[in-house]
Every structure is written in structure tokens, then in C-alpha cells.
Amino acid sequence: MSEPIPRKHPLTDFAPKLVSVTEEVLFGDIWERPELSPRDRSLVTVAALVATGSTEQMVGHLARAQANGVTQEEIKELITNLAFYAGWPRAMSAMNVAKRVFENE
């Protein structure tokens, strides 16, 4: 698994505390805890984003999921499964985001 290229977050100048907490607590602490593998955390995170209709956040997390070993087929299956639990419109919106992300790789 390769490390992502460090980039300045687009919200750093606008909301530095939110970016700091995101980087230090969420990705620096929570994502590094050994109780779940990065792959499992990615599956849980993508599922939560689909279920809550948070498709804007999916773009980065789909790339992270793939870097953590989740395949495109697994992501499509996850979204299809969630159509029955999170709602058809949310699943269709999520699948459209996944399609765009995968086509742009």
C-alpha cells in the first residue's frame, strides 16, 4: 500500500481547526488504531457515506478504499447491497459517484 501524496487540504486557510482535527485525530489517531484494518475501516466509511447520502466525501474515500485493498467490484457490491438498507436514491447517487471516480483513474 503506497502512502498518499501529501497535499494542502483545500479548506486549510478557511477552516484550519477543522482540517487540523481531521488530519490529527481522525486520520492520525482513529484510522491508525489496530482494532480494525485500514481495509475494514474503508468499507465501514464508504458504507456510512452511502447510507447518509454524503456522496461529496465519497470521492476521496473511494480512492483511499482502493489503496487499502478494496476492489471496484467490492465497492459496487457494497453500494448495491445498501440500496435495500439505505435507500435506492442514495445507492444510485453513490453508484454514479463511484462510476465517475473509477472512469477517471
* pLDDT tens digits for range 41-92: 999 999 999 999 999 999 999 999 999 999 999 999 999 999 999 999 999 9
Structural domain range at position 77: 37-103
Q: How many domains does the chain have?
A: 1
Residue whose grid cell is 485500514? 38
Is the per-residue pLDDT at 1 higher than 60?
no
Cell numbers found for residue 18 = 477543522
* Virtual torsion, Cα 13, 19, 20, 23, nearest 10 deg: -140
CB of 57 closer than 8 Å to CB of 22: no
What gap in Å lies between CA 11 and CA 26, rounded to an integer? 16
Evaluate whether residue 58 is within a structural domain. Answer: yes
Evaluate whether residue 47 is within a structural domain. Answer: yes
> What is the average per-residue pLDDT within 24-28?
92
**Global pTM?**
0.86
CATH number of the domain bearing residue 55? 1.20.1290.10
Evaluate whether residue 29 is within a structural domain. Answer: no
> What is the average per-residue pLDDT within 32-41?
96
Evaluate whether residue 16 is within a structural domain. Answer: no
